[in-house]
Amino acid sequence: MLAGLAAVGASHSQASSGLLVICIAQGVLAIVLSLIYRMPIKFAWSTPGAALLVATAGITGRFAEAVAAFVVAAVLIIVVGLWPALERVIGRIPRPISNAMVAGILFPLCLAPVTAAVSIPLLAIPVILVWLVLYRLAPRWAVPSAIVLAVILLAATAGTGWIHGATLMPQLDFVAPSFDLRVVVSLAIPLFIVTMAGQNIPGATILGSFGYRAPVRASLIGSGALSAVGALFGGITINLAALTQALTAGPEASPDRAKRWIAPVSAGCTYIALGLLAGFATAFVAASPPLLIEAVAGLALLGAFIGAVTAAMESPPGRLSAIATFLVTASGITILGIGSAFWGLVVGAVFVLWLGWARRRPGVAAQRERVTHDEADIADEPAPAPDRS
């Protein structure tokens, strides 16, 4: 998250302020809605959104322009919550396309462990080995243990000079948004889409898979409103959690489904406590090698990347469109000042429309039918007798 905010021009104080408002906003919203609905409603910052900021570094160096994009993305989320028909439209975005775009956004960050292992081997390789060993023996503790080791190594290499610039007092830094159409298109629209397709919709689906009917409208309007306010203090969008939603809604939280709402409430309290230490955390991270921070983030995001790739490739008819979306998004290209995530979505949509139209053409349909019949005839032929010579 801090790397993403810095990539779009945030200063240390602005990134610290953003981290503070994000933690408090998602913590308060999880506590309030979980208590009201008595179900595990978990919120988080947009992980693919943070990766999007890293991937689109260079689109703007003025944080005020990025803040304007955050505000626009938050307003679009509110509109979806107020307009159920638009929510259904977003839900109809082909799953292979949305997941391929998320995978393309995460891909550069997931390469960071490889790069770090070559550039700073004495720091990166021990972290990777700890993660790998525990991933085999105790998967749940693999990423937390890697983070703890990375913090120890960072503390040993960062020295003590950063402590003088750290503050334990929470500080908010107001940022007046500066609207630039190019930046809005490059950041706001992809941020809105990855937040909806990669977090909000999967988060509601995960709740449903555990037998809960998610209050989608309240969740979208609440998260959008708090995101819009938080954006003025440097915060990125917050949303229904996807990965951690499965922890708070599943049997890990409690064998009794009626008591699982306690998990996101306790998580919300923890978020608020961590947010109050944002200034300390920001100073510590700023004094650390950025590549090691990205490497640990890459290890933590491997699960999300694998899930996105798997979901993008699960449907054979949509694989070509998904691959095209992934390649364009992961390329990091910028055309007309607009980042690769947007163009990946455009290319994916063109592939879906073109290939869908081609499949509907009578000649193509007849040819596919002939191939199907031929395959069936071959399958019906008796198998040749085995050669026992």
Return the pLDDT at 29. 97
Task: Tell whether 75 is covered by a domain.
Answer: yes
> Can you name the residues that pair with 238 across neighbouring β-strands?
45
Return the pLDDT at 259. 92
The backbone torsions φ and ψ at residue 43, rounded to the nearest 5 degrees and listed phi first, read -120, 155
The helices-and-strands tally (H runs, E runs) of the chain is 20, 2
How far is it, in rounded angstroms, from Cα 61 to Cα 59? 7
Return the pLDDT at 77. 93
Return the pLDDT at 372. 44
Count of beta carbons in the 10 Å neighbourhood of residue 126:
15
How far is it, in rounded angstroms, from Cα 327 to Cα 298? 19
Return the pLDDT at 210. 79
The model's pLDDT over 67-94, given as tens digits with 9 standing for 90+, comes to: 999 999 999 999 999 887 765 665 566 7
pTM score > 0.85 for this model? no
Please report the sign of the dihedral spanned by the C-alpha atoms of residue 334, residue 336, residue 337, residue 341. negative
Return the pLDDT at 371. 42
In this prediction, the residues of the chain whose per-residue pLDDT falls under 70 are: 86-93, 159-168, 243, 336-339, 357-389
Task: Tell whether 339 is covered by a domain.
Answer: yes
Task: Tell whether 15 is covered by a domain.
Answer: yes
Count of beta carbons in the 10 Å neighbourhood of residue 168:
8
* Strands 43-45 and 238-240, bridge-based pairing: antiparallel
The model's pLDDT over 18-35, given as tens digits with 9 standing for 90+, comes to: 999 999 999 999 999 999
How far is it, in rounded angstroms, from Cα 68 to Cα 273? 28
Amino acid occupying residue 181 = L
Q: Which domain holds residue 103?
A: 2-374
Task: Tell whether 387 is covered by a domain.
Answer: no
Task: Tell whether 388 is covered by a domain.
Answer: no
Return the pLDDT at 365. 47
Task: Tell whether 199 is covered by a domain.
Answer: yes
How far is it, in rounded angstroms, from Cα 202 to Cα 215? 13
Return the pLDDT at 297. 81
How far is it, in rounded angstroms, from Cα 374 to Cα 15? 62
Return the pLDDT at 184. 86
Nearest C-alpha neighbor of 42 from the set 273, 274, 271, 264: 264
> Can you name the residues that pair with 69 across neighbouring β-strands?
none
Query: Hey, what are 327's tokens?
Result: 């390649």
Return the pLDDT at 322. 92
Return the pLDDT at 48. 78
Contact in structure between 99 and 348 (CB atoms under 8 Å): no
The model's pLDDT over 315-356, given as tens digits with 9 standing for 90+, comes to: 888 899 999 999 998 888 877 656 687 788 889 989 988 887
Return the pLDDT at 41. 94
Task: Tell whether 383 is covered by a domain.
Answer: no
Task: Tell whether 384 is covered by a domain.
Answer: no
Number of domains in the chain: 1
Contact in structure between 264 and 30 (CB atoms under 8 Å): yes
Question: What are the distances in angstroms from CA 233 to CA 16, 147, 268?
Answer: 10, 27, 20
Helix axes 290-313, 121-137, angle to 10 degrees: 40
What's the gap between Cα 299 and its chain centre? 14
